[in-house]
Amino acid sequence: MNECIDPFIDDLGPEKVIHIYEPKSKLRAIVVIDNISLGPAIGGCRMACDVTVEEVFRLARAMTLKNALSSLPHGGAKSAIVADPGVENKEALIREFAQAIKTLTDYIPGPDMGTDEGSMAYILDEIGRAVGLPKVLGGIPLDTLGMTGYGVSIAGQIAAADLPLNLEGARMVVQGYGNVGKAAAKYLARLGVKLIAACDSKGGVHNPAGIGVEALTRAKESGVSVSASGLGAPVTLEEMLKIESDIFVPAARPDVFNEANQEVLKTRLVLEGANIPITHSAAKKMHERGILIVPDVIANCGGVITAATEYQHQSEQDAFDRVKTTVTENMQELLRRLVGEGLAPHDIALKMARERIAKAMTYRAHM
Ligand code: NAD
């Protein structure tokens, strides 16, 4: 390792880090194209006030690894528009962002926190390149179908069989009841899992007897926050992390658990719906405490597989089949290697992805 080089830089990337600032509209954005050895990079465009370059880079790297693990012909990237997703001129900002990335043809944006299918439609309209589009534009509506949450539930099913953990009545906490969280809750509830606590950014509810997933989703979709849904006793965001469960699904922000607070989590299985919700060192400690963590790059690849399926003009059913097959195969390899290699799950997932990227790089003459 050359210590003069920024610690973020390694043999994989990042290939490009771009800051965008348009003084007139006050558009501020960050794009990181991490690695394109497998093909043009697909990665979400998020909209948030508190996003940093470091965060975008780490998310881009997660996409490089996830796309490789998903056997997609795509590298990894990520972007962020630094603004409140509730901003009045959101469409204009997104259109301006699209124009700013027009020449970055190695980057294909998709939806992420704070953006949606409509946002991708504006980008497609501006530059002819985006995934995660509305159905009317040939898209496979991945958030409406809950494709990421579907993949999370497949990972949960295989992990539970391995632990073993009986899914019937297993207690689940979902931190971040948004696109990923509510879909994970829906598909896991179909397997018999009981939602006992959920939250959004305003707070949460706890009900040991069980929270109706459909009722909570209906409330959320009618604009009511989780804590105001009346479906359980109100809890703060901090209290949410301490509720004892069998399955914990982080589906909100990065770094929810770090070394300082990881010990509050009392669960048997973590399904990482969000990207990097647990820092590497905290995940290692949890692994040592006997918690099985399914890393983000394996658990939450349903969205990007669907996006790539859409990009290849294939069907909704193809997307469901591909998500199920990919998550199943990766989970089987992860669980096999967990026994054989004596490493924590994130280290094994990283090795699995790096092996695939390294193989792809041997076929590339110009990197
Ligand atoms: P979303 O905006 O639909 O949902 C996020 C939810 O988290 C919201 O309910 C929000 O209120 C809540 N939240 C925000 N800050 C919180 C906090 N501090 N504490 C508790 N809850 C909080 O976003 P999403 O699309 O569901 O994405 C969630 C995460 O999953 C992100 O990390 C995203 O990168 C990742 N992800 C999303 C997809 C996808 O298909 N949408 C795919 C892979 C990974």
Q: Is the CB of 253 under 6 A from ligand 1?
A: yes
Q: Is the CB of 112 under 6 A from ligand 1?
A: yes
Nearest to 344 by CA among 299, 291, 302: 291
205 C-alpha to center of ligand 1: Å? 17
Q: Is the CB of 274 under 6 A from ligand 1?
A: yes
Q: What is the pLDDT of residue 2?
A: 47
Domains recognised in the chain with CATH numbers: 2-57+78-138 (3.40.50.10860), 147-301+331-351 (3.40.50.720)
31 C-alpha to center of ligand 1: Å? 19
Q: Which of 32, 177, 179, 220 to mutate to test the pocket of ligand 1 (most atoms within 8 A of CB)?
A: 179
Q: What is the pLDDT of residue 1?
A: 43
Q: Which residues of the chain have pLDDT under 50?
A: 1-2
> How many Cα atoms are found within 13 Å in the side-chain-facing hemisphere of 209?
3
Task: Pick the atom of ligand 1 nearest to 177's CA.
Answer: 9
Q: Whose CA is nearest to atom 22 of ligand 1?
A: 201
Q: What is the pLDDT of residue 113?
A: 86
Q: Is the CB of 199 under 6 A from ligand 1?
A: yes
Q: What is the pLDDT of residue 9?
A: 82
Q: What is the pLDDT of residue 361?
A: 81
Q: Is the CB of 165 under 6 A from ligand 1?
A: no
Task: Pick the atom of ligand 1 nearest to 132's CA.
Answer: 40
> Alpha helix (H) ranges present in the chain?
53-69, 90-100, 117-127, 142-145, 147-162, 179-190, 213-221, 237-240, 280-288, 296-299, 302-311, 316-341, 345-361
The whole-model pTM stands at 0.90
Q: What is the pLDDT of residue 151?
A: 98
